[in-house]
Structure 1
């Protein structure tokens, strides 16, 4: 189906009050420095927002107030050391979509969903562009899709979740808003010699993003299949990840001591790998390799991270990751779990989203896991080469547990 998305207005949204002089220069953390200039995307779907003018006004005014607390997002990156918090603002785009929301949700197409985002995930001018862009997509049936892209230089999935819920809370007039804590750059300060780090060129080839949904009723069966003497009680994320991947991105906030809250703004993610020389492994073995990959490195790395060897250990991990990404002779799959982040609580005043999603990842062998609206099932957004996706679509073990791109009208 041809979907017409027409941009009708662009506007810059600035913080409703100026950023104080003492906060004008925001230091990146070491983790921020090592992230490429990409955008972290999110799409939130709402079934009924018929008063367009009122809805748009609420989104813009609440965004302006929210940017007071997320002031780095209204600034611009000056180098790979800091952000100039100059209140240049975020970009807000209004678009009209020439179909009903149900037409999109019946069988979501990742290439169509990409059009509801305000910018491509990989953007050649991302370093000079706004750190936050929002596109409000209004459907002729009264539906709304909010597409948000936030610079990965400052935002991982946890920070994105904190921002979205703070913005939604401001919009509905909540008195219980969780605000960001900017402590990571003091805990993990930037390294001066990374100030001129060239933009990381993520390897991009022609690829396809597919969606596989494992409903809650099948999660238990999958966990039972993945269980073994070595890992008797695998988590849902471990079991689902093992169907597709041998590397896991890990949120470090709860793994350092003392643990950090999820509203610790910035990037606080690294990866742990599971390595095998075998070309085929059963699900139980994959779960074992995955858990061992995390367990073996986690304690050693966390101890190094919080000590004098934190910088070289982090740089070594990042270098290892980059080498594996660039090595065409290695089948390297990278998975990021967004499960348990409260994306479905983002109520702007017209109800919680009926669905939350990503879109095209643009990079081969990337997997994103997201919860279904009930919080029990898992959606697997899998980006592969065309050939690998064709094989994946006929994988008997995967199809035993997952449905291929079912309706998102839950």
Structure 2
């Protein structure tokens, strides 16, 4: 356990959680006791020359359990550390750093900020100087947790529905080819650039949804209502509280794209791009128009309720979750050995869904996909048909 060099002052001992922390997927807590017990640090020696060799040796393991080996083992208990680090040293001197942090206190922006601040301190021996000071506690003072708020949680899959994780990489060329398959819709206005010229993230989320919908239709013998939920970062989008651009903690909302099984043919990528693009645009517009803290709180709670309710209707409809960690500075973290050659999130084997992360060059996208095993087999078959899409096993 690595303890802080300076004790926490009494006035900072209790870190209250915000509404967004309360809604993040985790075991619920009301506050954090900053008791200076420290963080868990583990160093291992890996009997392999490098990470690719290690992965090759473990080829029979599913991807998620493989990467679990280079992560710290943390028990989810109220008294457990909120942060754990495992530094894995390979025979050739290469290093893989595995990090686990409680979702009670951190979203992707927070993790990326922490890792880069930590790396900068290691590299230079000094704390970085910004025109802002990243800190916790800002969000809870404006958006306090609601003690009476209770949201149902999706059930954990049984043994017959074990969820597995796979990785797929789309380079810039593959993404551009997908863009070219998106047909122009004459009903789209000139202002809808998000739909006419969709971003990499919108294209990839739409592709994931399209493939999963096709798999569902084939399995059920008919199309079903379908929803795709995805996280949208509040930072930089709120005109009513612009000072929170660098706030640490959880600071996202969920947007939900919906598709009705109305008999109309919806199997082209541009159909899904339109649904996803419209949802991103409408949600961002609603965030930008919010004039008060209450507006943001209501939007967040309502969206989470809708998302969870849809996920709980799995016997009647299909619900999927995606989250983009793109455009965050994962590949800028230099601890003194150079910048990383690969950064990845480990699978979340609770519900079916996907994470999107940048490739090292910043132009491609790595998909971390979690699906029931039978669905994963079909998903891989669909992506194999995209010949320019290399698959990372």
Q: So what's the TM-score if we normalise by structure 1?
A: 0.78
Q: Which residue of 2 aligns with 1:225?
A: 181
Q: Which residue of 2 aligns with 1:360?
A: 347
CA contact (8 A) 1:211 1:379 kept: yes
1:350 shift after superposition: 1.1
Q: Which residue of 2 aligns with 1:193?
A: 148
Task: Please state if 1:98 is matched with 2:47.
Answer: yes
Task: Please state if 1:317 is matched with 2:303.
Answer: yes
Call closer, same or farther: CA 1:366–1:126 in 2, change over 3 Å: farther
* Whole-angstrom distance in 1 between the partners of 2:39 and 2:106: 15
1:396 shift after superposition: 5.4
3-state SS in 1 of match to 2:247: coil
The CA RMSD measured in Å over matched residues stands at 2.6
3-state SS in 1 of match to 2:208: coil
Unaligned runs of 5+ in 1: 1-11, 39-78
3-state SS in 1 of match to 2:238: coil
Task: Please state if 1:274 is matched with 2:274.
Answer: no
CA contact (8 A) 1:158 1:262 kept: no
More deviation, 273-282/87-96: 273-282
1:315 shift after superposition: 2.3
Q: Which residue of 1 aligns with 2:108?
A: 157
Aligned residues: 350
1:385 shift after superposition: 0.6
Q: Which residue of 1 aligns with 2:20?
A: 31
More deviation, 288-297/351-360: 288-297
* Whole-angstrom distance in 1 between the partners of 2:302 and 2:293: 15
Q: 1:206 aligns with which of 135, 159, 162?
A: 162
Q: Which residue of 1 aligns with 2:128?
A: 176
User: Which string of whole-angstrom CA distances, capped at 9 and with x for unpartnered residues, describes residues 250-293 of structure 1?
Assistant: 11112211545653101011111111124843111101001112
3-state SS in 1 of match to 2:368: strand
* Whole-angstrom distance in 1 between the partners of 2:152 and 2:337: 40
Task: Please state if 1:300 is matched with 2:286.
Answer: yes
* Whole-angstrom distance in 1 between the partners of 2:208 and 2:129: 36
* Whole-angstrom distance in 1 between the partners of 2:183 and 2:242: 29
Q: 2:314 aligns with which of 323, 328, 336?
A: 328
More deviation, 108-117/131-140: 108-117
More deviation, 290-299/326-335: 290-299
1:386 shift after superposition: 0.7
* Whole-angstrom distance in 2 between the partners of 1:198 and 1:273: 17
CA contact (8 A) 2:238 2:290 kept: no
Q: 1:116 aligns with which of 63, 70, 81?
A: 70
* Whole-angstrom distance in 2 between the partners of 1:150 and 1:199: 23
1:175 shift after superposition: 5.2
1:294 shift after superposition: 2.6
3-state SS in 2 of match to 1:210: strand
* Whole-angstrom distance in 2 between the partners of 1:84 and 1:198: 24
Task: Please state if 1:235 is matched with 2:195.
Answer: no
1:145 shift after superposition: 0.7
* Whole-angstrom distance in 2 between the partners of 1:368 and 1:32: 20
* Whole-angstrom distance in 2 between the partners of 1:110 and 1:308: 39
